Amino acid sequence: MAWGVFLHGLLGLLLLVGLPLLALAALPGFVRPLPPGVYRGVRALAWVAILQVLLGFLLFFLGLRPKEGIHLLYGLLLAAGLHYLGGLEPGGWFHRGLKDPPRRPEVYVALGLLFALGLGLRAYFTGR
């Protein structure tokens, strides 16, 4: 079980480093289109978050509990939010599925990443 705790922490560290960097890289999205690398980074971090959530629930069912139960909800929201933000790239799965896709999805991605950064920090501090 120690390997699971270590891996969960390692994935969390990856998110704590990657989210601020990605949020900074997305800030120019308020004034111009984002490069495809930002969307790739969002999708990569989404998979890291999804893996961390799956591992976190496995640890939960094995008897390890976070300090506060809301930690699980923060992690779930972060993973889902990053997944949808990654699909908002023009031509992406979520962008194509919208009835009226936004003309400037990069603004939503920049705002969403700032929100995701807050969720990531809340998840970290409620799980310790």
**How many domains does the structure of the chain reveal?**
1
Q: Are 8 and 55 in contact (CB under 8 A)?
A: yes
Q: How confident is the model over 14-45, as pLDDT tens digits?
A: 999 999 999 999 999 999 999 999 999 999 99
Distance CA 102, CA 3 (A): 43
Domain span holding position 51: 2-127
**Mean pLDDT across the chain:** 93
What's the CA gap between 73 and 99, in Å, rounded?
29
pTM for this structure? 0.92
